[in-house]
Amino acid sequence: MPSKTYITSMPNKTGAFMLASKIIARHNGNIVRVSYNKAVDLHTLFIDVEATDEDLSEIAEELGNVGYLNNKISEIRVIVVNIKIPDVPGAVLPILRILDRYGINISYMNSSTNNSEYQNFKMGLLIENPKIIKMLLDDITEVYQIDITDYDDSEKNLDNTIFYIRLANEMQKLLQLRTEITMEFISESNRIMQKLQDKGENPDKVFGYIRRFAYFIGQHQGSDFKADIEKVKISDSVTLYSIEPPCGSNTYVLDTDGELVLIDTGYSIYSNEMFDIFNKLFHNWEKRIKRVYITHADIDHCGLLSKLEGAKICLNKKSADNLNRQYMGIPDYREHDDIGLGYSKLSRIISGYVPPSADRFDILDDGTPEEHLDLLYIGNFTVADLEFEVLEGSGGHVQGEMVFVCKKYGVAFTGDILVNISGFTPERAEFNSLAPYLMRSVNIDSEKATEMRTKITRLVEEVGNSNQKPCIICGGHGPVSVINNGKIVSMENIETVML
């Protein structure tokens, strides 16, 4: 059954939600989620409804007719004023009459005596028409002395009348979003907040993490996109390039005389920056034959798939199903609960992700069990003189997770099952702390993920012992690494590339 989130702006009075519920019920809608928190925003209420597409459309129309549907981003703002009022009975009344004349709502008031003849009366004024601000202040100034103070986000009470409007304006400007996408961002932010608040988290902290997540991705574009590039000669025929972006997955490129083979592709929002790097690193990039493999179908690993025109996308059946779900607009394997759903949708919006079409898929396996608890061999592929075994994990990180291992030359692409956390810069470490908080865990099943990490570590050590040199580990995030005394450490004496 189709579902839709209605972001409603309701009057703060008895019976407001009842009216919305009656409208939804009249059109055969089933309310599956409601979120309202007066401490966050006094008026905004989120309602998820399941119904037919026709009924959902009629519900939206009727909610709009009664003035409940918030389908645009308002320019409402709060200004904070300090007014010096005589400490006598009735002194505030002239101010209230002026505010009433202009139709101004008060979102915040704070005043107290201070052993003088005056009180400093602090007021947050809700301004729906910015054009009247000067006239309003001029009128107040004729009565009492007034100072304008900058808006202070630490003053929680000033924020909770129009919190979501302010957040929407902020994100729309940062990410250059269309209005309907901005409202989806607000809805999914609320979904995450509701679930984490149920688990005891403070809403301010949740929205703080969401803002940091959005700003980190949005602000590392253009000249602020600083990627670390490493280069390793794997064999006489193959050179490996590791491109580690500010955030999102690494992109690996195996450079051969005949073709370029990419493994994972990072966030979509950085496509211009990544294609600029490709053109500088690889002669005749546009005309080279290309293949691309993904270690798993999380969107921070698949961002360029829809943009790498003409390149075959090589993956297993589970990852193909995951990407197909994204393409069809139905929940993927990461979106099995509201926290995963909210985080995944936010990631798509912030990074501008567009899932690829299945007509470019080249499936690597056949007959793989739906469920298994092993690091299971499911196929192989070659890159020049390198032969890779494709191993599928049990789904601890996400269903369809894979590892690509070339035992002869000692190189393993381990995705997010095994990453070089110790090699993170402080900035990357900060970014990588956001997802575990907002999702509670980056793994679908932490116990399985731990078991897979143990098995891959053991396999990499065996390959290293067989070749009498450490196996090169290319994890989903962090610098190229090896195992030294049982620990994952950055590879020493590796060539770095400056563009």
Digit-coded pLDDT (tens) for 60-117 = 999 999 988 866 666 666 778 888 899 888 999 999 999 989 888 787 788 877 778 8
CATH code: domain of residue 232: 3.60.15.10
| Short-list 2, 43, 17, 32, CA closest to 328 | 2
CB-CB neighbours of 311 under 10 Å = 21
pLDDT in tens, 392-423: 999 999 999 999 999 999 999 999 999 999 99
Q: Which amino acid is at 197?
A: Q
Residues 286-330: pLDDT tens digits? 999 999 999 999 999 999 999 999 999 999 999 999 999 999 999
Are residues 324 and 292 part of one domain?
Answer: yes
Q: Residue 151: is its pLDDT beyond 60?
A: no
Residue 484 main-chain phi, psi, to 5 deg: -130, 115
Backbone angles phi and psi of 346, in degrees to 5? -60, -45
Q: What is the CATH number of the domain that holds 34?
A: 3.30.70.260
Give the model's pLDDT for residue 322. 97
Are 406 and 473 spatial neighbours (Cβ–Cβ below 8 Å)? Answer: no
Question: Are 47 and 82 in the same domain?
Answer: no
What are 209-234's pLDDT values in tens digits?
Answer: 999 999 999 999 999 999 999 999 99
Q: Which two tokens stand for residue 284?
A: 């005749």
Give domain status of residue 460, yes or no.
Answer: yes
Q: What is the CATH number of the domain that holds 81?
A: 3.30.2130.10
Q: Which of 14, 34, 65 is the last residue of a domain?
A: 65
pLDDT for residue 196 is more than 60? yes
DSSP 105-126: EEEEEE--B-SSSEEEEEEEEE
Tokens 């381990």 label which residue? 414
Determine, yes or no, domain membership for 204: no
Q: How many domains does the chain have?
A: 3
Task: Give the DSSP letter string of 483-497.
Answer: EETTEEEEPTT-EEE
Q: Tell me, what's the pLDDT at 56?
A: 96
- Is the per-residue pLDDT at 131 higher than 90? no
Per-residue pLDDT, 80: 82
Residue 438 vs residues 182, 257, 442, 450: alpha-carbon distances, Å: 19, 44, 9, 20
Q: Based on the fold, state whether residues 489 and 469 are members of the same structural domain.
A: yes
335: in domain? no
The share of the chain scoring above pLDDT 70, in percent, equals 95
One domain for residues 400 and 468? yes
pLDDT of residue 2: 87
Q: Verify that 488 and 407 share a domain, yes or no.
A: yes
Classify residue 133 by its DSSP letter: H
Question: What's the whole-number mean pLDDT along residues 433-451?
Answer: 96
From 141, 159, 177, the end of a domain falls on 159
pLDDT band at 191 (very low <50, low <70, confident <90, very high): very high
Residues 262, 310: Cα–Cα separation, whole Å? 13
In a domain, 118, yes or no: yes
Closest residue by Cα to residue 245 from 217, 261, 225, 263: 225
In residues, how long is the chain? 499
**Do 278 and 414 have their domain in common?**
yes
For residue 376, which amino acid is it? L
Residue 150, pLDDT score: 54
Does residue 207 lie within any of the structural domains?
no
Where a domain ends, among 143, 159, 175? Answer: 159
Query: Do residues 21 and 125 both lie within one domain?
Result: no
Q: Angle at the Cα of 340 (from 338 to 341), degrees rounded to 5?
A: 60
Residue at 469 is within a domain = yes
Residue 12 confidence (pLDDT) above 90: no
Mean pLDDT for the chain overall: 91
pTM score, two decimals? 0.84
Q: What is the 3-state secondary structure (H, E, C) of 153-192?
A: CCCHHHHCCCHHHHHHHHHHHHHCCCHHHHHHHHHHHHHH
- The encoded tokens of residue 340 equal 């995963």
DSSP string, 264-328: ----GGGHHHHHHHHHHHSTTGGGS-EEEE-SS--TTTSTTTTTSTT-EEEE-HHHHHHHHHHHH
Are 95 and 234 part of one and the same domain? no
In the block, tokens 């291992």 appear at: 405
CB under 8 Å to 340, separation ≥6 — which residues? 334, 439
DSSP string, 398-437: STT-EEEEETTTTEEEEETTS--GGG--HHHHHHHTHHHH
Whether residue 10 sits in one domain with residue 93: no
Residues 121 and 255 in one domain: no
pLDDT of residue 102: 87
Q: Please check whether residue 71 lies inside any domain of the structure.
A: no
Whether residue 298 is found in the same domain as residue 434: yes
Rounded CA-CA distance 150/292 in Å is 51
Which domain covers residue 114, as residue numbers?
77-159
Residue 124's pLDDT is 82
279, amino acid identity: N
Distance CA 261, CA 252 (A): 8
Q: Is 97 among the domain residues?
A: yes
Do 324 and 273 share a structural domain? yes
Residue 162 above 80 pLDDT? no
pLDDT of the residue at 148: 73
